[in-house]
Amino acid sequence: MKPIRYLEIEGKSRGYWGLVGLLGLLVLAGLGGAYYMEHNGHWVTGMNNQIVWGIPHVFALFLLVAASGALNVASIGSVFGRVMYKPLAPLSGLLAIALLIGGMTVLVLDLGRPDRLIVAMTYYNFKSIFAWNILLYVGFIAVVAVYLWMLMDEPMTAYSKPIGFFAFFWRLVLTTGTGSVLGFLVARQAYDTAILAPMFIVMSFAYGLAFFLLVLMASYKWSERPLGDVTVSRLKNLLGVFVGAVLYFVLVYHLTNLYMAKDWGVEAFVLLNGGVYTAMFWLVQIIIGGVVPLILIYYPTQSESWTTVAVACILVVVGGLAQMYVTLIGGEAYPIQIFPDQDVVSSTFFDGQVGTYAPSLPEVLLGVSGIAIALIMVALAVKVLRFLPASLADEVVDPHHKQASAASA
Amino acid sequence: MSDHSEQPNEPRRRFLGIAASVAVAPGLMLFSMAGAKPDAQAVSSKNRWGMLVDTTKCADGCQACVEACHEENGISSRGRPRTDPQWIRAVTLRDRETGRETHLPLMCQHCEHPPCVDVCPTGASFRRADGIVLVDRHICIGCRYCMMACPYKARSFVHENLHDQVPHNPRGKGCVESCTFCVHRVDEGNLTPACVEACEKDGHKALVFGDLKDPNSELHKLLTEIGARHLRQDLGLNTGVRYHGV
């Protein structure tokens, strides 16, 4: 196995600046959307007093979950000692930080009072999982930044294993916190379950790895650097395991609810008669985001094609966004059960009725800008710092490659 | 000395009288308020303010409590019911088996263990020692997590610019708010929130406010006599608002 050499990308091509320009425009559009919402008040969005978290939160939660998952590639190298993953660790850490900042930005800009960010940083109610998350997110950036330093600064590399272990532990706690934002809520039928914490961890594995694979393949294709099939194949097989695990958790979540009579209503809503939420659950989350990627990943004749892998990754991301939409907004739309054994005949506040929500353009722009913020950070960072190995060809990354070739010859 | 100098003329006397009252009255008023209102003394856990809603007396179609609350607290509608704040609302229920209809007002239940307070990241949602649950709108960041957590959908987010605010209830766009049990009245020693007053004025007397801890209070006596339950009793929140006949 040859020593790994990291190099900045040249970043002078029209394609590069076109990408940066496009992402920049998306970021500006998102900021414009946020300004419009804050200036006029949230009534100009699709959100209301029942659907209080809308599409910005869907993107924000997705990005925060994906961020912790993106770090997994580095963790597999540092914590579990898999040599092949080590060259990928710097990009993994960078993407983790970038996705987290993208998610946090969306979250903050959707606040009713984003100007009071300093209040959120100085007043803490430690019984609130949200308050914990503020510390966990900010801490994650700091821990992963130190981890990157240890990984990328030659004299410090000996420390990368313990800090990598610590970062892995931190990311597990972080995603537990993100899942518990909903899991700790007793008010709404769709939440209020501890399974959301481990489920979010497994979701993070899938979303984060899908994102990582897309960024990795795009970076190497566009910078014309060698990326071997061994790396792509290993990562996509791992993605398949994670996608399967997400489906398993979704199954257990719904089976648990279906066993309890009190939750039949919300289950019928999501699985059978919830309109857009039911369609999104079956069609986008389960089929497009779960079953189809699994087929693409494991179908023998197709699965080695990069295009197939890229499509599978994109579908996992789309399915992940749908999963967040169904979980979050579907859970809010289903009416709160204040009077479980009675029907609401009339209420001026829409008690007993399914909440209505149609995302507005500014909200969507703000949400999408979170992804753009993450990607523009990665695009700029790989130009100024040495995050990407000059080559990820099979003979560079795979210690057994030569022996394997020799044996087959 | 002449009579003239000893007896100031009438206009001058009136002027001095008015000037003195203008100068002194506000001070006197503040003094009297300070005397009546337990501002100087901390809110105590010796009291727990609560309310009984006797749904057997609550009239179909009556909106007196809703209108009184919103007028008292300067809550105005923009004609957008999904985003307009509603501190209290009138709800009609029908029992699934018997078809019996019940009318009741629904507002913040002022829980002993309020989920909104648990989840608030900054501590803006808080419960006073006397059981009243409030939002400190100086440190509310508008995250709306409390609205996700409230099992009674009792909280409203201020979705747009505000006009016609009342001095005792400063509000803010981008913050969350809910029923305060008319805390400005309670702190002045007036134990009749606007909704209770309106209900009584209309002759229904479906709402009774008082101290849950005082065995001599009308509230306590009625709770003992006719009984009442908490909404979503299964959650164990020990609400301050209790319902009879639900």
Q: Please state the domain extents for chain A.
A: 6-334+379-399
Q: Is B43 inside any structural domain?
A: no
Residues B206 and B230 in one domain: yes
Query: How high is the pLDDT of residue A157?
Result: 85
Question: CA dihedral in degrees (A177, A179, A180, A184; nearest 10)?
Answer: 170
Using pLDDT thresholds of 50, 70 and 90, give the confidence band for residue B17: low
Nearest CA-CA distance, residue A254 and chain B, Å:
21
Query: How high is the pLDDT of residue B6?
Result: 44
Residues B116 and B184 in one domain: yes
Q: What is the pLDDT of residues A110-151, one digit of tens each?
A: 999 999 999 999 999 999 999 999 999 999 999 999 999 999
Q: Is B42 inside any structural domain?
A: no
Residues of chain A with pLDDT under 50: 407-409
Query: How high is the pLDDT of residue A354?
Result: 96
Residues B110 and B221 in one domain: yes
CB atoms within 10 A of CB A296: 22
Test the A interface: residue of B144, B162, B231, B246 with most A CBs within 10 Å: B144
In this structure, CATH architecture of domain A6-334+379-399: Up-down Bundle (1.20)
Query: How high is the pLDDT of residue A102?
Result: 98
Inter-chain residue contact A349 with B141, CB threshold 8 Å: no
Query: How high is the pLDDT of residue B5?
Result: 42
CA A377 to chain centre: 16
Angle between helices A89-109 and A129-152 (to 10 degrees): 150
Query: How high is the pLDDT of residue A46?
Result: 96
Q: Is B17 inside any structural domain?
A: yes
Q: How many domains does chain B have?
A: 2
Nearest CA-CA distance, residue B182 and chain A, Å:
21
List the single residue in B92, B122, B142 with the smallest CB-CB distance to A345: B92
List the single residue in A124, A187, A344 with the smallest CB-CB distance to B115: A187
Residues B60 and B180 in one domain: yes
Instruction: Return the exposure string of A337-361: e unless at least 16 CB atoms fall within 10 Å of the residue's CB, then b.
Output: bbbeebebebbbbbbbebbebebbe
Query: How high is the pLDDT of residue B13?
Result: 60
Q: What is the pLDDT of residues B107-118, one digit of tens each?
A: 999 999 999 999
Q: What single-letter amino acid sits at B210?
A: G
- Beta-carbon contacts of residue A353 (< 8 Å; ≥ 6 apart): A335, A344, A347
Residues of A in contact with B235 (CB under 8 A): 186
Residues B196 and B219 in one domain: yes
Query: How high is the pLDDT of residue B4?
Result: 44
Residues B31 and B64 in one domain: no
Residue B29 has pLDDT above 50, yes or no: no
Beta strands in B58-169 (DSSP E): 88-95, 101-107, 125-127, 133-135, 156-157
Inter-chain residue contact A112 with B157, CB threshold 8 Å: yes
Residues B115 and B59 in one domain: yes
pTM score of the predicted model: 0.91
Q: Is B114 inside any structural domain?
A: yes
Structure-token pair, residue A287 = 């089929």
The arithmetic mean of pLDDT across residues B147-173, rounded, is 95
Residue B67 has pLDDT above 50, yes or no: yes
Residues of A in contact with B119 (CB under 8 A): 128-130, 184-185
- Beta-carbon contacts of residue A241 (< 8 Å; ≥ 6 apart): none
Give the residue from chain B lying closest to A107, CA to CA.
B143
Residues B152 and B191 in one domain: yes
Residues B22 and B80 in one domain: no
Query: How high is the pLDDT of residue B130?
Result: 96
Residues of chain B by 3-state class (helix, strand, coil), percent to 5: 30, 15, 55
Q: Can you give A209-230 as a three-state secondary structure string?
A: HHHHHHHHHHHHHHCCCCECHH
Residues B24 and B142 in one domain: no
Inter-chain residue contact B96 with A117, CB threshold 8 Å: no
List the single residue in A49, A128, A349 with the smallest CB-CB distance to B121: A128
* Dist CA B68 CA B74 (whole Å): 10
Inter-chain residue contact A339 with B175, CB threshold 8 Å: no
Residue B1 has pLDDT above 60, yes or no: no
Domain that holds residue B23: 3-36
Inter-chain residue contact B115 with A185, CB threshold 8 Å: yes
Q: Is B205 inside any structural domain?
A: yes
ipTM of the prediction: 0.93
Query: How high is the pLDDT of residue A82?
Result: 87
Strand partners, B53: B207, B243
CATH number at residue B151: 3.30.70.20
Inter-chain residue contact B235 with A188, CB threshold 8 Å: no
Q: Is B44 inside any structural domain?
A: no
Angle between helices A196-222 and A361-384 (to 10 degrees): 60
Residue B94 has pLDDT above 50, yes or no: yes
